Amino acid sequence: MERAVALKKLSKMLGKKFRYRFDADAPLREQQEAARAELGEVHKEKERLVKQMAERRDEILSADVEYQALKAAREAVGDQIDKLNRIAYRHRVEVGTMDSIFFHVKAQGDSWEDVLNQLTKKSRDVVTL
C-alpha cells in the first residue's frame, strides 16, 4: 500500500490528533525474527550469570563481620523510620474524591473542623488567584 493511501485511511480512523513516525533504517522482518530467536538464549545466559554473581556476593559478605553489623544497624534504623512515619502521617479524618479505583485525598486532619478549615482555605486561595 502506498504511504499516501495508508496515511489517509489512518487519519480517518484515528482522527485529528493522528501522528506517525517512520524509521527507514528499521531492520527487516527476517532480521527481527532472528534477533528474537537469539534473544531468548542471551536472556537465559544473563540470568545464569546474575544468579552466580548473587551467590558469590552473598558468600563473600556473609563472612564480613563489619558488613553484617552495618546491615543489622541499617535494618533497625529502617524499622524505626517506618514506625515514626506511621505515627507522624496518620490522621483521624481524611476526605477526598474517588474515581474508578483511586481515592484522592483533598484534606486530612485530626477533626472534622481541621478538614473543613483546610478545604475552605483551599477554596479561598483558588478564588483570590
Q: What is the 3-state secondary structure (H, E, C) of the chain?
A: CCHHHHHHHHHHHHCCCCCCCCCCCCCCHHHHHHHHHHHHHHHHHHHHHHHHHHHHHHHHHHCCHHHHHHHHHHHHHHHHHHHHHHHHCCCCEEEEEECCCCEEEEEEECCHHHHHHHHHHHHHHHHHC
d(CA 84, CA 78): 10
pLDDT at 100: 83
Contact in structure between 92 and 113 (CB atoms under 8 Å): no
pLDDT at 53: 98
Cell reading at 10: 489512518
Per-residue pLDDT tens digits of the chain, which is 129 residues long:
899 999 999 999 988 888 989 899 999 999 999 999 999 999 999 999 999 999 999 999 999 999 999 999 999 999 999 999 999 999 999 999 988 889 999 999 999 999 999 988 876 776 555
d(CA 61, CA 85): 31
pLDDT at 31: 96
pLDDT at 128: 57
Contact in structure between 89 and 105 (CB atoms under 8 Å): no
Cell reading at 5: 493511501
pLDDT at 49: 98
Cell 534504623 locates to: 77
